[in-house]
Homo-oligomer: A and B are copies of this chain.
Amino acid sequence: MPSPDQIRAAVLRYLAAVAGGSASEIAACYAPDATVEDPAGSEPHRGRAAIAQFYSPLEAAARETKLLTLRIAGGAAVFHFLVRTKLPDQTVDVEPIDLMTFDSRGLITSMRAFWSESDVRVT
């Protein structure tokens, strides 16, 4: 089981990749056979290729992320954060709470993102 420090570092690496990385750099935060369920309840994306595909629309936009609250227990992280996506004519803010599990190297093995349409702010 990864240590709390490893998990914290893995969450910060992920948020930095979502803010400034390519889709494949974001996918590299995940273990090869990881799953991404975003939003929770939707069909999971499985494996790095599918995960990179899922994140690829982000590449067209300027992005910011900000960690708001992080809790670590039982080898998992749950964290509330802001993702701001800046498009030419609008800014889209979402503040999900994500649940992530990790392998012993600190790679994400599963992610479930809890948010819904009512949590999206467009300005």
Binding site for B on A (CB under 8 A): 4, 37, 39-42, 69, 71-80, 95-97, 99, 112-116, 119
Contacts and interface: CB of A to CB of B under 8 A. Distances in A.
A71 B115 contact: yes
Identical copies of this chain, number: 2
Contacts of A113: 73
Nearest to A116: B73
Which A-B residue pairs are the 6 nearest by beta carbons?
A41-B74, A40-B74, A71-B114, A40-B73, A78-B114, A78-B97
A28 B123 CA distance: 42
A40 B104 CA distance: 18
8 contacts: A41-B73, A69-B80, A69-B97, A71-B115, A78-B78, A78-B114, A79-B97, A97-B97
